[in-house]
């Protein structure tokens, strides 16, 4: 029996009904290759969708209720369609609820109730966008079921808004955008100010992207994340002396920034701002070197990105730094960096295909010896953004 057949049986056992009424959708997780903590500063990012993510089975019901279940968590929740509000005890179910709430804000009232079964393959809290994946798959599925347009840029914006306002996490647009708009074998060069984007074939030849999960839970991530955001706002305020129209750090070139950095009063704020402006510059450089297929140069930019996130933006921590140092010590590794918000979560490394096995063994051993935590590794293929699954997988 395929996994999808099993999931459909599971759905019917939980909610009743018949398998023929179940529709299936999938949204991936994402890995960001470079451009970290630049999205909410109006800079550019370079993420890619993964081949694993969240599968959603959904069917209409006739009692005007929403029923939520997951194969990952025991919590099952049933709520009336008319009463979608945030509730701490609803835990993960707040993500799909947030999307229903968001659709309502946008004038889309669901015509009927639905049952949802989520099947998540993204490790929780690993910084691979499991929450964006749930939001985007929910939005895409509900719009499809209701016969509404499924514009994936709009779905990304609405999902981000649900996360910002319903969940209360002030994330930027990168995660939802990548999950909604990814394409197999392509990374997405996204300008987070204008939302102009380009799908760039990611041809890494003999090199593989290897994700390393530190398995360090990202404690306090929201408060530290929001603190970084306000430090960036502070930098903009100070720089307004020279650029009265400035609203986002990403509007400055590296040269403009360097000529005016002294206007930023606080030394910590200055380091945060420098990271942002240099990181955006590194994304631009990455496009130049990747056009020439210069993976070695791209690896160096990945390393520089991590070092800046460690020293200037200070969002890495001992686990991520240990894993990155171990990765860089393995021959055949062109670059290694943290990916996502930081404070734990995952690294991404560019590793020669002949070295992958040794990489996993050596990095695993060194990391475990230094931290006492057992890591996990995923050799990563780049997959498609959100879509409907129409046939048996
Ligand atoms: C998290 C946020 C994104 C982005 C990254 C850092 O993943 O959700 O919007 O800010 O951190 O680059």
| Phi–psi pair at 117, nearest 5 degrees | -120, 115
pLDDT over 80 (residue 218): no
pLDDT band at 314 (very low <50, low <70, confident <90, very high): very high
SS3 (DSSP) at 214 = coil
37, 125, 160, 177: which to mutate for ligand 1, most atoms within 8 A of CB? 37
Å from CA of 16 to ligand 1 middle: 38
Tell me which residue has its CA closest to atom 1 in ligand 1. Answer: 341
- What tens digit of pLDDT does each residue of 107-141 get? 999 999 999 999 999 988 889 999 999 999 999 99
- What tens digit of pLDDT does each residue of 129-185 get? 999 999 999 999 999 999 999 999 999 999 999 999 999 999 999 999 999 999 999
Taking the CA of residue 37 as reference, the ligand 1 atom at the shortest distance is 12
Å from CA of 11 to ligand 1 middle: 33
If you ran DSSP here, which 8-state letter would residue 340 be given? S
Percentage above 70 pLDDT, the chain: 98
Angle at 301 between CA 296 and CA 302, to 5 degrees: 95
Taking the CA of residue 39 as reference, the ligand 1 atom at the shortest distance is 10
SS3 (DSSP) at 6 = helix
Query: CATH 3.30.70.890 occupies which residues in the chain?
Result: 207-380
β-strands 47-61, 23-32 pairing: antiparallel
pLDDT over 80 (residue 392): no
Taking the CA of residue 32 as reference, the ligand 1 atom at the shortest distance is 12
SS3 (DSSP) at 353 = helix
C-alpha 72/C-alpha 195 separation (Å) is 33
Concatenated DSSP letters for 87-103? -GGGGGGHHHHHHHHHH
pLDDT band at 1 (very low <50, low <70, confident <90, very high): confident
In our burial notation (b when 16+ CB lie closer than 10 A, e otherwise), range 150-176 reads bebeebbbbbbbbbbebbeeebbbbbb
Taking the CA of residue 172 as reference, the ligand 1 atom at the shortest distance is 9
Q: Which two tokens stand for residue 198?
A: 């380009």
175 labelled catalytic: yes
248-267 mean pLDDT: 98
pLDDT over 70 (residue 393): no
Å from CA of 110 to ligand 1 middle: 30
What Å distances lie between residue 89 and 102, 216, 353, CA to CA? 20, 24, 45
Report the CATH architecture of 3-201.
Answer: 2-Layer Sandwich (3.30)
Å from CA of 345 to ligand 1 middle: 12
Angle, nearest 10°, between helix axes 152-162 and 174-181? 150
Tell me which fold the domain 207-380 belongs to: Alpha-Beta Plaits (3.30.70)
Q: Which residues line ligand 1 (CB under 6 A)?
A: 36-37, 39-40, 171-172, 174-175, 340-341
Å from CA of 157 to ligand 1 middle: 14
30, 39, 127: which to mutate for ligand 1, most atoms within 8 A of CB? 39
Å from CA of 74 to ligand 1 middle: 28
Q: Which of 233, 192, 160, 152 is nearest to 39 (CA)?
A: 192
Query: CATH 3.30.230.10 occupies which residues in the chain?
Result: 3-201
Taking the CA of residue 174 as reference, the ligand 1 atom at the shortest distance is 9
Among candidate residues 21, 63, 90, 175, the one labeled active-site is 175
In the chain, which residue ranges form alpha helices assigned H by DSSP?
A: 3-15, 94-105, 130-145, 152-162, 174-181, 221-239, 254-260, 267-291, 295-311, 318-328, 356-371
- What tens digit of pLDDT does each residue of 321-374 get? 999 999 999 999 999 999 999 999 999 999 999 999 999 999 999 999 999 999
The residue to which tokens 């800046």 are assigned: 308
| Phi–psi pair at 127, nearest 5 degrees | 80, 25
Tell me which residue has its CA closest to atom 11 in ligand 1. Answer: 341
C-alpha 163/C-alpha 171 separation (Å) is 7
């Amino acid at each position: 029996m395929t996994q999808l057949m099993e999931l459909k049986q599971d759905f019917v056992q939980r909610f009743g009904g018949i398998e023929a009424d179940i529709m299936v959708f999938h949204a991936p997780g994402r890995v960001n290759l470079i451009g970290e903590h630049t999205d909410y500063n109006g800079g550019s990012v370079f993420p890619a969708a993964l081949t694993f993510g969240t599968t959603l089975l959904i069917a209409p019901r006739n009692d005007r209720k929403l029923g939520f279940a997951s194969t990952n968590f025991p919590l099952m929740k049933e709520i009336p369609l008319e009463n979608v509000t945030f509730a701490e005890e609803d835990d993960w179910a707040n993500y799909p609820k947030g999307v229903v709430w968001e659709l309502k804000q946008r004038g889309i009232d669901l015509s009927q109730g639905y049952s949802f079964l989520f099947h998540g393959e993204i490790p929780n809290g690993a910084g691979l966008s499991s929450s964006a994946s749930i939001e985007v798959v929910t939005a895409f599925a509900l719009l499809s079921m209701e016969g509404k347009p499924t514009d994936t840029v709009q779905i990304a914006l609405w999902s981000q808004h649900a996360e910002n306002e319903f969940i209360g996490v002030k994330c930027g647009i990168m995660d939802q955008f990548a999950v909604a708009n990814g394409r197999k074998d392509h990374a997405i060069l996204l300008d987070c100010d204008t939302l102009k984007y380009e799908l760039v074939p990611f041809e890494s030849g003999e090199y593989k992207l290897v994700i390393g999960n530190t398995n360090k839970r990202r404690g306090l991530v929201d408060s530290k994340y929001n603190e970084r955001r306000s430090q960036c706002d502070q930098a903009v305020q100070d720089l307004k002396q020279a650029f009265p129209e400035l609203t986002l750090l990403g509007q400055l070139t590296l040269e403009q920034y360097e000529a005016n950095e002294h206007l930023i009063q606080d030394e910590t704020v200055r380091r945060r701002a420098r990271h942002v402006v240099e990181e955006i510059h590194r994304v631009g450089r990455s496009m130049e070197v990747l056009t020439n297929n210069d993976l070695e140069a791209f690896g160096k930019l990945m390393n520089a990105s991590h070092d800046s996130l460690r020293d200037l933006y200070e969002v890495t921590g001992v686990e991520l730094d240990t894993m990155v140092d171990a990765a860089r010590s393995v021959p055949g590794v062109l670059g290694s960096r943290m990916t996502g918000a930081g404070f734990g979560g995952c690294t991404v490394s560019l590793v020669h295909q002949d070295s992958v096995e040794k990489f996993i063994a050596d990095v695993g051993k060194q990391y475990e010896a230094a931290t006492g935590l057992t890591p996990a590794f995923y050799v990563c293929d780049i997959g498609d953004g959100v879509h409907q699954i129409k046939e048996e997988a």
